[in-house]
């Protein structure tokens, strides 16, 4: 598992390089990365999943719409079959829980 406090993973602007670095990391690491948890994504609803896609991963998001900052994302390797997921967002908190039955695991951020 990889955990990143991104302080903006925005696909445009001054921070767009962070997403590229994350993509490069997971594609070049010798050990396969099963999940990537990202806090402080700063994503908003107008940012599409396609804009923040990492090839080979499915993305689950909880965006903070009410103010600057916040938000989280969980990228899971596409080989994992997700049976259910829950997203929570409030003024102060964001959370995602993803359930993977095949390995009897819950990934959360």
Per-residue pLDDT of the chain (109 residues; tens, 9 = 90+): 899 999 999 877 666 688 989 999 999 999 889 999 999 999 988 999 999 999 999 999 999 888 888 899 999 999 999 999 999 888 788 899 999 988 888 888 8
Partners of residue 93 on adjacent β-strands: none
CA distances from 87 to 13, 31, 61, 80 (A): 26, 28, 7, 18
Nearest residue to 72 (alpha-carbon basis) of 90, 54, 99: 90
Q: Copy the structure tokens of residue 50.
A: 């396609």
pTM strictly above 0.85? yes
In a 13 Å sphere around the CA of 101, the CA atoms on its Cβ side amount to 4
């Amino acid at each position: 598992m990889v955990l990143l406090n991104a302080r903006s993973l925005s696909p445009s602007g001054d921070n767009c390089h962070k997403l590229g670095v994350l993509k490069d990391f997971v594609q070049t690491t010798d050990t396969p990365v099963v999940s990537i948890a990202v806090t402080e994504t700063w994503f908003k609803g107008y940012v599409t999943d396609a804009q923040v896609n990492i090839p080979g991963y499915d993305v689950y998001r909880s965006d903070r719409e009410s103010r600057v900052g916040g938000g989280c994302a969980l990228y899971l390797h596409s080989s994992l079959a997700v049976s259910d997921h829950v997203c929570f967002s409030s003024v102060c908190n964001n959370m995602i829980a993803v359930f993977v039955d095949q390995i009897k695991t819950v990934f959360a951020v």
